[in-house]
Chains A and B, each alone.
Chain A
Amino acid sequence: MIYQGKQKIWSDYQKEIPDDHWYYVRSCIRQNFFPASEKMFLEICRDVLGKDVHENEHHTTCGGIAYHCDTIPQETAMTIVARQFALMTEAGYENYAASCITSFGNYTEILETWHEFPELETKIRELLWKSCRKEFKKPKYLAHTSDLIYKFRNEIAEKAKFRLVNKETGEPLRVVEHIGCHYSKMFPSKGVGGAEYPYVLAGMIESWGGNVIDYPERRHCCGYGFRQYHVKANRSYSLSNTYKKFESMEPYKPDMIITNCPGCPYFLDRWQYVIAETEGKTYGQNGFGIPVLTYEEVAGLVLGYDPWDLGLQLHQVGAEPLLDKIGIEYNPEDKYKGLDKKDLMRPELPTNLKCF
């Protein structure tokens, strides 16, 4: 590996990310999968970094899942997106930050399509007016929220209580970064670092003390793939792709995986359980899995937030071995307690995948 070669590519793919004043839209599914991640993003931006991030309760899905599952046509998705832009315009913002990778891809694709086919934009403006009596301005800047954390990665590192370093050995943790397919594979110039060697998560890992692993199936999809997972008959295809990735990263003995997509952390996490239960194979040390975290969770951990406030108990793969490596203290008793400290009950533990 020639690191300078990657640096050259990274310098070619830098996108402009404004410093402040963002209109923020959530993901449909992240709040169920990783409930603290979006809250952590807002807390880091607003309270830790003092930024203005505006949220509006009227925004809806971007239509991305339905669009990629072929259940709605693109015009419908475009009109939904036009309505989101109208909400941003009404709120007086022009920088648009999406929490979801597929939304980000959807917005990028729609803006590019309107650029190529202005008559389509006119049509969507008419449709939006007819359906909602709303008008919109296109965002001046479009970012995925991981772009923002990437931009503030060094400030976060300055305020960090922990680094991605093995406390015992002093060695940097070996971190797999996994980028959602819709981040830059469709439009390489819209993502930090491009499509082949994206830098958005690698930059965070470097700033926070870890070592990035580049393994053969790094570019491969997590396995979610909408139609592969949502259609049950295709589900083994979803699982097989995730399996392919784990087989490929296994020799590098990763300490953790960091992701920036709603689906990827979920499937990289849950399919480790299914692989363990069906094939008896685990990928972490001593029968554990490889912890899979969102970038907000990782940012929260290095900033010293309590792992249970970050919602790590909702992961299938136990994060405890990782917390121990970094030296983050946690109370095992509190793992399954709610914010009000009441017991949430304990999940049934898997047979083959070791968890607490």
Chain B
Amino acid sequence: MKEIVVIIGGGIAGLEAASQLLKLGYSPIIVEKSDRLGGHVARWNRLFPDMTPAQDLVSELIASSKDANIFLNTEISFINRLKDSYNIMLSNGISIISKYILYTTGFRLFEAQKKEEYGYGIYNQVITNADLEHWFNTNKDDRISGKDIKSIGFVHCVGSRDEKARNSQCSKVCCITAIKQAIELKEKYPEAEIYCFYMDLRLFGKKFEDFYTKAQRDHGIHFIRGRVSEVSENINGQVIVKAEDTLAGKPLKVTLDLLVLMSGMVCNPDSTKSASMLSLPIDSDGFLKSSDNVFHITSSPRKGIYYAGACTGPKTVPETLAEARSAVLEIHSTITGEAR
């Protein structure tokens, strides 16, 4: 009998894991709470640093995992532990018994309206990184389309590195995403002045630094080291942004036609909920706690429970895919080890 592996979450980590499990001859079951696969990445337009279309990646992953058993619009009602396996009850009434559960529950985008001073949901010209990707995909957003856009701002670290927002972690991808989106907007509005407000620029990944210098030199994007303190609206409906230019040591303000908030990655409350049914530990940042942050990122302290992707903390796309493969390999070694 083919071993069943239950994968919670049909984002890129879940899909990649399913596709690898299929290749190894197992029978993965994907439980996805929404009505579609691909998670956050499916809503993105292009991926840094090579501007790969996000849809290409998601389509390929869906194609390679199509033989998995997939339940959409399905949530975990409860999970309980049996002697050497788990009983997973789904919201559609189906119950599954499996020795292996892989959490690929991902992250939740920080709700930008929680930073009240930035005026998301109050001032028309304030949008989020996700709204901007949606516009890149659909060209539909009254806040951008048809507007005469001459100045644009990006606010890094919205809900990240912010203990007031109860998220002290760095969301890792926002710096490079802001630079990517700034370049994309500059290509669409070559005359516009674009300002990135950052605390630190954390450009750790392959070719990220090249991207940054390209933004500076080829696209003339301005970088201002200082966290935005408040946003307000003027009589023309533009937004006025205030910050301290910490390198000049002076307060600074600028009037903008569009302000993009880089909402960070925060823990997904759904993963915390189902983790609590198995008393899985939660880390101080609210994400699921791996049994070890260096050597065993994809393992939980409980037998048969594995993690991959952003459920244990902010990750890039390639990191998430690598973890999915790594978790599958670990599950495979456990299964073959037990069979021996």
Give A1-36 interface residues, CB cut-off 8 Å to B. Answer: 1-2, 5-6, 8-9
Q: Given A5-B113, A194-B116, A217 and B232 touching (CB < 8 A)?
A: yes
Contact, CB under 8 Å: B121 / A8: yes
Q: B residues 209-248 with Cβ under 8 Å of A?
A: 230, 232-235, 240
A251 sits at the interface (CB 8 A): yes
Query: Complex Cα distance A197/B120, Å?
Result: 13
* Inter-subunit contact B116/A215 (CB<8 Å): no
- B122 in the interface (beta carbon within 8 A): yes
Q: Are A9 and B230 in contact (CB under 8 A)?
A: no
Q: Which A residues are closer than 8 A to B by beta carbons?
A: 1-2, 5-6, 8-9, 194-197, 214-219, 251-252
Contact status A2-B232, CB under 8 Å = no
Chain B residue with minimal CB distance to A1? B233
B113 contacts across to A, CB distance below 8 A: 5, 8
Any A CB within 8 A of the CB of B123:
yes
What are the 9 A-B residue pairs with the smallest beta carbon separation, nearest first? A5-B121, A5-B122, A196-B116, A216-B232, A251-B235, A216-B240, A216-B234, A196-B117, A2-B122
Task: Give chain B's interface residue range (CB within 8 Å of chain A).
Answer: 10 to 19
Chain A hits for B232, CB < 8 A: 214-219
Q: Can you name the residue of chain A whose Cβ is closest to the Cβ of B115? A: A196
- Whether the Cβ atoms of A2 and B121 lie closer than 8 Å is yes
In the bound assembly, the distance between CA atoms of A296 and B116 in angstroms comes to: 29
Beyond A194-B116, A196-B116, is A215–B123 a contact (Cβ under 8 Å)? no
Q: List B residues at the A interface (Cβ < 8 Å).
A: 113, 116-117, 119, 121-124, 230, 232-235, 240
Contacting pair A2 B230 (CB below 8 A): no
Kindly list chain A residues whose C-beta atoms are within 8 Å of the C-beta of B124. 1-2
Please report the C-alpha to C-alpha distance between residue A86 and residue B116 in the assembled complex, in whole angstroms: 38
Q: Is the CB of B235 within 8 A of A6?
A: no
Q: Once the chains bind, are B116 and A197 in contact (CB under 8 Å)?
A: yes
**Alpha-carbon gap, A217 to B232, bound state (A):** 8
Q: Which A residue sits closest to B120, measured CB to CB?
A: A5
CB distance from A204 to the nearest CB of B (A): 20
C-alpha gap A219/B119 in the complex (Å): 13
Q: How far is the CB of B60 from chain A (nearest CB, A)?
A: 39
Set of chain A residues within 8 Å of B116, measured between Cβ atoms: 9, 194-197
> Which residue of chain B has its CB nearest to the CB of A217?
B232
27 A/B residue pairs, CB under 8 Å, sorted by A: A1-B123, A1-B124, A1-B233, A2-B123, A2-B124, A5-B113, A5-B119, A6-B122, A8-B113, A9-B116, A194-B116, A195-B116, A196-B117, A196-B230, A197-B116, A197-B122, A214-B233, A215-B232, A215-B234, A216-B233, A216-B234, A216-B240, A218-B232, A219-B232, A251-B234, A251-B235, A252-B235
Residues of B within 8 A of A252 (CB): 235
For B235, list chain A residues within 8 Å (CB).
215, 251-252
In whole Å, how far is B314's beta carbon from the nearest beta carbon of chain A? 27
CB neighbours (8 Å) of B119 from chain A are 5
Name the residue of chain A whose CB is nearest to the CB of B237.
A1
CB distance from B321 to the nearest CB of A (A): 37
Q: In this complex, what residue of A is CB-closest to B236?
A: A251
Contacts of A218 on B, CB cut-off 8 Å? Answer: 232
Q: In the bound complex, what is the Cα–Cα distance between A196 and B126 (angstroms)?
A: 16
Nearest chain A CB to B115 CB, angstrom units: 9
Q: Please give, as numbers and ranges, the residues of chain B lying within 8 Å of A1 by CB-CB distance.
A: 122-124, 233
- The answer for the CA separation of A216 and B119 in the assembled complex, in Å, is 12
Chain A neighbourhood of B240, CB < 8 A: 216
Minimum C-beta distance from B160 to chain A (A):
20
5 other A-B residue contacts (CB within 8 Å) besides A2-B123, A2-B124, A5-B119: A1-B122, A9-B122, A194-B116, A251-B234, A252-B235
Instruction: List B contacts of A5 (CB < 8 A).
Output: 113, 119, 121-122
| In the bound complex, CA of A217 to CA of B230 (Å) | 10
- In the complex, what's the smallest C-beta–C-beta distance from B142 to chain A, in angstroms? 12
Which chain A residue shows the least CB distance to B116? A196
Q: How far is the CA of A136 from the CA of B204 in the complex (A)?
A: 58
